[in-house]
């Protein structure tokens, strides 16, 4: 099974990426195929509500932009888990993560729930507040798509502001490491 780690931060090497790199290291130590995909800062549009995906049922969105190859990867059969990472700027996910949630979710639901049974996990980086709103927004996406949600020893949150700050959040680092171990455990159970 492959794991996709989606960086919803426009800061390609910021603290959200640092959290995903912590997870990547644990996945690789356990010989799990993992890939980090850059979502934040790409050319991506929100859902237009045209419902073409419901009419064509071809696992595609008519808005052919930089989200298309990421969406294609999410729908592959060998993907067993999707982790969505987002910083919190104004008490919620980034605009790119919201566009991902709306468009990927709509296309998935239109195509017989093709994300069903893939494991999902949110990763949220914040400075002071709003993290639980972003955490919930990502979990709603997993819930409506019938994706089991992986948990950790605490909510999957990291406290950081400037690049490199996440390394000082020991509890956050431990939370992301344990989250990764729990995803691996769930992947092993799904294989049975």
Distance from C-alpha of 53 to C-alpha of 55, rounded to nearest angstrom: 5
Q: Look at residues 142, 135, 99 and name the one whose alpha carbon lies nearest to residue 10.
A: 99
> With bands split at pLDDT 50, 70 and 90, how would you rate the model's confidence at 1?
confident
Quick one: pLDDT at residue 34?
A: 98
Give 128-172 pLDDT, tens digit per residue. 888 999 999 999 999 999 999 999 999 999 999 998 999 999 999
Give 18-71 pLDDT, tens digit per residue. 999 999 999 999 999 999 999 999 999 999 999 999 999 999 999 999 999 999
Q: What is the DSSP letter of 150?
A: P
Give 69-87 pLDDT, tens digit per residue. 999 999 999 999 999 999 9
- Give the distance from CA 86 to its chain's centroid: 8
Quick one: pLDDT at residue 129?
A: 86
Helix (H, G, I), strand (E, B) or coil at 36: strand
């Amino acid at each position: 099974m492959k794991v996709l780690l989606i960086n919803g931060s426009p800061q390609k090497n910021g603290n959200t990426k640092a959290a995903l790199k912590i997870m990547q290291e644990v996945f690789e130590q356990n010989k799990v195929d993992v890939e980090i995909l850059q979502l934040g800062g790409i050319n991506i549009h929100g859902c237009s509500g045209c419902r073409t995906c419901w009419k064509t049922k071809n696992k595609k969105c008519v808005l052919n932009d930089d989200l298309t190859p990421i969406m294609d990867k999410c729908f592959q059969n060998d993907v067993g888990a999707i982790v969505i990472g987002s910083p919190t700027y104004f008490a919620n996910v980034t605009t790119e993560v919201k566009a991902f949630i709306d468009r990927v979710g709509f296309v998935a639901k239109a195509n017989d729930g093709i994300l069903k049974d893939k494991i999902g996990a949110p990763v949220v980086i914040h400075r002071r507040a709003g993290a639980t709103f972003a955490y919930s927004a990502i979990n709603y996406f997993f819930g409506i798509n019938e994706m089991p949600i992986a948990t950790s020893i605490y909510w999957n949150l990291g406290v950081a502001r400037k690049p490199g700050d996440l390394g000082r959040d020991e509890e956050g680092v431990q939370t992301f490491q344990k989250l990764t171990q729990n995803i691996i455990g769930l992947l092993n159970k799904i294989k049975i």
